[in-house]
């Protein structure tokens, strides 16, 4: 892999199409999906599954405000925002990304690891069947979208607390695509540590920077204090990133992307982040 060197100068604030990689200008591509599936937090959101130390302070009203801002940002970036009905039965239902993986005209509906989350996927499946071919993950495999990092002609999937090898194999068979894996059963989801911004440029936590699956990629390592910002959402030349991580924002801007900081504090308390809140396709 190539680890990029961050310089001291910042790229221009708007209209960025180029950035710097080891002192050389690089062209940043536009890889823009058309749609985003989202779901607002339900009344049971404060009972989300989480190990976060601030878990007991989750504020539903504030989460709804933050989700509204998230939806506005997606819409302003040109996406058709498809909003699912609120699911008050499943506390984690707003984290729709885990329900399905979509790749090149196909979708696999996930069999999530936790019993408390199974059933969330029905509404997601109903929408996806209107646009793409759909297959369901079959037991005993488990698979969650939060483990799957997308590239044009391959995927990288975590083997984690939530996704097992059987889930990856079923996904590989359905999509007929190369899938590399990063195995670490101490992590919840791979996307908490790795985001593909486009053109093989990724932000990554140093924990995985030497993993063989990342060879050939341009890697932007994040400082430990900004580790949460590794879960970011790229839409074309723009990256939605967690607010309050200025060094992470600076590094992403430096390679040619616009950054929109969003407050995700209530979702962070539920062990969630920006990619968790939508399925882009």
Q: Which residues pair with 157 in a beta bridge?
A: 148, 181
52 is catalytic: no
**Is the pLDDT at 274 greater than 80, yes or no?**
yes
For position 3, what pLDDT does the model report? 56
Judged by average pLDDT, the poorest of 18-32, 193-207, 231-245 is 18-32
pLDDT tens digits, one per residue of 233-267: 999 999 999 999 999 999 999 999 999 999 999 99
Whether the Cβ atoms of residue 90 and residue 117 lie closer than 8 Å to each other:
yes
Q: What is the C-alpha to C-alpha distance for residues 52 and 108, in angstroms, rounded to an integer?
A: 29
Q: How far apart are the first and last CA of the chain?
A: 27
- Cα distances (angstroms) measured from residue 226 to each of 112, 132, 175, 261: 28, 36, 33, 13
Q: Domains of the chain (ranges plus CATH)?
A: 2-6+16-280 (3.75.10.10)
196 is catalytic: no
For position 2, what pLDDT does the model report? 53
Q: How confident is the model at residue 48 (pLDDT cuts 50, 70, 90)?
A: very high
In the chain, alpha helices (H): 60-76, 121-128, 165-175, 246-254, 265-268
Q: Which among 67, 103, 150, 189 is annotated as catalytic?
A: 189
Tokens of 56: 């007991």
**Is the pLDDT at 168 greater than 80, yes or no?**
yes
In 3D space, the residue among 25, 30, 13 whose CA is nearest the CA of residue 234 turns out to be 30
């Amino acid at each position: 892999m190539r680890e990029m060197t961050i310089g001291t100068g910042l790229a221009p604030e708007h209209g960025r199409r180029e950035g710097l990689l080891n002192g050389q200008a690089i062209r940043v591509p536009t890889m823009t999906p058309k749609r985003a599936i989202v779901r607002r937090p339900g009344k049971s959101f404060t009972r989300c599954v989480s190990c976060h130390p601030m878990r007991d302070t989750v504020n539903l009203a504030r989460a709804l405000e933050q989700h509204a801002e998230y939806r506005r940002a997606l819409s302003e970036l040109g996406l058709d925002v498809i909003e699912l009905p609120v699911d008050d039965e499943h506390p984690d239902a707003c984290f729709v990304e885990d329900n399905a993986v979509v790749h090149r005209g196909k979708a696999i509906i996930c069999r999530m690891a936790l019993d408390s989350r199974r059933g969330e996927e029905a509404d997601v499946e109903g929408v996806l069947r209107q646009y793409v071919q759909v297959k369901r993950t079959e037991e005993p495999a488990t698979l969650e979208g939060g483990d799957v990092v997308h590239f044009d002609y391959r995927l990288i999937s975590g083997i984690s607390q939530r996704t097992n090898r059987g889930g990856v194999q079923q996904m590989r068979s359905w999509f007929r695509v190369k899938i590399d894996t990063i195995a670490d059963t101490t992590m919840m989801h791979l996307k908490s540590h790795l985001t593909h911004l486009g053109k093989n440029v990724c932000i990554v936590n140093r924990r995985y920077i030497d993993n063989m699956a990342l060879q050939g990629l341009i890697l932007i390592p994040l400082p430990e204090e900004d580790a949460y910002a590794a879960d970011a959402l790229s839409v074309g030349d723009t990256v939605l990133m967690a607010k309050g991580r200025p060094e992470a924002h600076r590094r992403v801007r430096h390679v040619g992307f616009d950054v929109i900081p969003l407050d995700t504090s209530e979702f962070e308390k539920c062990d969630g982040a920006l990619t968790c809140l939508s399925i882009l396709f």
